[in-house]
Chains A and B, each alone.
Chain A
């Protein structure tokens, strides 16, 4: 078995005394295989940057172990870890121009000048920054600094590349263009990267696996498809996916071969017991009070079923987002054509059993996805 590039073993980060200070990262364990791109997703302040800084060695690892390329590194200084990092705040060397910023590490490693120049040119072309190579960092826009900083990281030879929101300052068009190029660049060279992003499209497009974090806890670490189809808990379910998953508190009951799921305001979704595996039914019925989650594109308008009243209908050019009041709250539907419904109009709602995600109301942990246990 080949050793993974990075293995985090129950790492914790406290800013301040262990057990007392800000507990920014909580008992995170994960493994990154060589050649993979990992997207680190989570709300602001959830501990993404702290995690990267512990891996790079700028912050002490309060507890736990970090293995990098087969070595235990949590006690080693950054110089001995052999990682490259693009910083959230860019952090270019203010005294030298962009070209020298990018070439710094290569020059220090005494690569021949011609080779350095060629490499700088290649990365600069990829990131569309050839025109600013001779400028000083202080004269650059945020997006330019960001790309220079990304170039400085990508040009290096390292075991692991830590990219902290490398494209946050760019406009969507450029971001989409660069996203493809960066992925190609990384994959072509077999590089391993962890990329922090707030952009789910970016995470889905670039990443082999997505790590979802919240309040310092790693909520789920899985492929994009798995995160979408089998969210481990309510947080992942609602955090990943645009627009977010609809969530309703419900009470489940079985009678006469039917499983009825009662929402608020007397709204009932009715299924055949056979729509769910026996153990799923058991788990749902023994819990009684659970939460159900349904992705917006899995909420359908139909002929029969409980009614909802349209509150808003937005056509985004390629899909319609419809909001309707339903079971005492708002349900969102996505349709991939221009929906012809007016505000105030009643519609009937259908949710298929295989699109139902059931979560424990107390812990938020997933119980089942469609007919199967989580």
Chain B
């Protein structure tokens, strides 16, 4: 790789540009849309020359949507807050439950441990609708429908298997004797878990937490069915822009931009962990 010719460099540059263009274009377009009115968006042919307006953002933030049919209440900001709260709380609960479980599955081979771990993973295979119907009925009976608690519980279906399986791989990669060396030096298994295993698996835990956060954030169907307006996250809240007088493309775009900002910021911040964390074997013996 040391002797790359100029031609090779140029070709590689072109290829990378193409890939970036291809993947970034929709996002670029959404960002453009968020600064336009419905009229300029729906122009044929589309153009990237327009008078930018921040009306869409103002509408979202103030919570008042003016349409030709009159003004409309929207609670986008509370949706955003709901997303943030539901995702963070779900990941927090997922980590608290999942990391010790991952350690147990990774380190202690007990009878049926493989089966239990696989069952947990299989939650990810099942179509959400399969569990939603019975879940809705149960939740209504025991009073968990339309509560944050109930939602966070259901979100564990998304985050727990993810955390469990990624982190478990990490714990398995830590040579057992590193922990044994610590244990034989007079430490209980719990302090070994805390002082040796946890720090060594940290990149994996961070990566798993981040991925779980993004998956939870992007979830649509659970929240759609189980939450009413005041508890809905942005993914569901965006439906409000489909109004009687048409789809408010500008506000949808602005909503999308606002809702990807937190995950984008998080991903950029934790990029190093993500790359390190998802390339297994980062923990050297």
Contact = CB atoms under 8 A, between A and B. Distances in A.
Interface of A: 56-58, 77-79, 81-85, 87, 89, 91-95, 104-105, 108-109, 138, 149, 152, 156
Q: Chain B at the A interface: mostly helix, strand, loop or mixed? A: helix
Closest 9 CB pairs of A and B: A91-B177, A105-B185, A78-B183, A78-B184, A91-B178, A87-B177, A91-B181, A58-B180, A138-B284
Contact of A156 (B183, B185, B199): B185
Nearest to A164: B177
A85 B284 contact: no
- Most A CB contacts (10 A, CB to CB) among B176, B180, B184, B199 go to B184
A39 B175 CA distance: 26
Interface string B170-204: 00000111101111111111000000100110000
22 contacts: A56-B184, A57-B184, A58-B176, A58-B180, A58-B183, A77-B189, A78-B184, A79-B186, A81-B184, A82-B186, A87-B180, A89-B175, A89-B285, A91-B177, A91-B178, A91-B180, A91-B181, A94-B284, A94-B285, A95-B199, A108-B186, A156-B185
Nearest to A56: B184
A144 to B, nearest CB: 15
A108 B184 contact: no
Contacts, number: 66
A87 B200 contact: no
A104 B185 contact: yes
B185 A94 contact: no
A109 B180 CA distance: 17
B32 interface: no
B92 interface: no
Contact of B187 (A57, A79, A94, A138): A79
Nearest to B185: A105
A308 B94 CA distance: 78
Contacts of B200: 94-95
B93 interface: no
A224 to B, nearest CB: 29
Contact of A93 (B182, B188, B189): B182
B283 interface: yes
B186 to A, nearest CB: 6
A89 B180 CA distance: 12
A104 B200 CA distance: 16
B185 A89 contact: no
A149 B183 CA distance: 15
A92 B283 CA distance: 13
A92 B182 CA distance: 9
B178 A105 contact: no
Given A79-B186, A93-B196, 19 more contacts: A58-B177, A78-B183, A78-B184, A79-B183, A79-B189, A84-B184, A85-B180, A85-B184, A87-B181, A89-B177, A91-B175, A91-B285, A93-B181, A94-B178, A94-B200, A94-B283, A104-B182, A109-B186, A156-B185
